[in-house]
Amino acid sequence: DKVLPELIEPYELRAAKLREFLEDVKPSLCYDIVPLADPFGPSVTDPELQCLVVSEETHRGGEAVNRKRLENGLPELALYEIQLMKDPEHSQNEEEKISSSSLRQRLLGTLLQPPRRDPALPLRPYVIGLTGGTGSGKTSMAKLLGQLGAFVIDADQLGHAVYVPGGPAYEPVVAAFGAEILNKDGTINRKVLGAKVFGNQEQLKRLTDIVWPKIAQLVKERVREADAQGKAVCVLDAAVLLE
């Protein structure tokens, strides 16, 4: 069962642990563990493969693999379906199979280890980084923590604030990308700006190098504001927190 520390381990470490487990189960087999750069991996490009092991829930994925193989001029794979063990203790909103997703759900709200104290950081407010992609429940969790008394900082709102006329990123962004990104009222047209950087890593980095430090500065100001209000916990809701 995979919990967060295991999910974020480096690939090399996870692969080594998997190899150790497989060889412990059946050392007579030869294992070729490869990283998956896309949902299909080598299954749609390796001509030497003959069989694909699937479960009832991944059978349609196996059929998609075979369609891709035919498109690539490769023979179809035999699909061998195995049955997954059921979890008799699963709740109504959990998966029927034994699943690490259910385990992680049961651990929600559980303190796995006490917060580490860093002498370089103030004890108050205790700042929690909350991150995740679209649909991950990040906004709902931030709202819930706010209802419990936390001071919530929405990095997305601050991201909009730095672009407004007079905002800290306004003039540098206009200087870098030109007056053609401006609306008639002088505000930055985010769609026009987005079109300039979309799919262009160099231009995107140019923009983020300007904007992200400005957002970070506003975040620090908001944390100081939380401290001034006597808040014990401050939650930073940011989609690209790690980046």
Which residues of the chain form beta strands (DSSP E)? Answer: 51-55, 78-82, 126-130, 151-154, 233-237
pLDDT per residue of the chain (243 residues) written in tens, 0 to 9? 577 777 788 989 999 999 999 999 999 999 999 988 898 999 999 999 999 999 999 999 999 999 999 999 999 999 999 999 999 988 888 888 888 888 888 888 788 778 778 888 888 899 999 998 888 888 899 999 999 999 999 999 998 999 999 999 999 999 999 999 999 999 999 899 999 998 889 999 999 999 999 999 999 999 999 999 999 999 999 988 887
* Domain annotation for the chain: domains and CATH numbers: 5-107 (3.40.50.620), 126-237 (3.40.50.300)
| Residue bearing tokens 């990095």 | 155
The partner residues of 54 in beta bridges, in order of sequence, read 81
The residue type at 22? L
* Closest to 66 (Cα-Cα) out of 57, 56, 54: 54
Q: How far apart are CA 230 and CA 131, in angstroms?
A: 24
The predicted model scores a pTM of 0.56
